[in-house]
Amino acid sequence: MKKMLCILLALAACALPAGCAAEPDLGAYVSEYRSRIYEGTEGGYTVFASFTRREYPYRADGNAGEMQDLFEIALAAPDNARTYSIEYALGGESYEAELAFDSVRMVHTCSLTLPEPTEESVVFTVRDAEDAEVEPLTIEAACLRPEGALELPALLEKVRAAEAERFDALSNGRDFAGELYVRLACEGGASYYYIGLTDRGGHTYSMLADAVTGEIVATRE
């Protein structure tokens, strides 16, 4: 009887992991998640801002690293010879920063480490950093994240189900041999999530999914 009880306990111990660890938690393998974007235009100036959780250092190597929170701002201005500063408030806190010109993208940018905002709009005040006599410009940027947009866990489950064979090939039931990049994107009134799946060899499979339904509408090897 004692011997039989030991056998049953051993079988139970072996069965538990197999039953509980069918799929790895994909959220633990996300290296970038852009969840909010804001955009506004006034007087020929356009502000684009986004909140992203991103690994640092940033490497597309199939391994997810330590994450940091970033609020990034890009200002498109009619006069790129000027230096601009920007002011805004999030979560009851006020922030200001001088913008640096990005000659590749032709915009003025800055980034700060901030928690994810919840505001549906953000008011930015743009100033000439070198001439206090220039009248500041106020731009209200609306949040473009649509109502009902999927949260990250639900989105990942939708994508995994749609691309089961591809995801299963990188999983052993406990671990996942890849990393994921997820970016909210809005264009022409439509909202999507870009999902990049990068394996340990550095190869990325790209997917575009509807932000609300999670349906994959386009892919690229």
Give me the CATH number covering residue 70: 2.60.40
Confirm whether 131 is domain-assigned. yes
Confirm whether 24 is domain-assigned. no
Residue 22's pLDDT band (cuts 50, 70, 90): low
Q: Tens digits of per-residue pLDDT, 55-68?
A: 988 887 788 888 99
End-to-end CA distance of the chain: 58
Instruction: Tell me the longest C-alpha to C-alpha distance in the chain.
Output: 93
* Average pLDDT for the chain: 89
C-alpha closest to that of 25 among 216, 176, 145: 176
Q: DSSP character for 156?
A: H
Domain shared by 201 and 118, yes or no: no
Domain shared by 131 and 57, yes or no: yes
94: domain range?
34-143
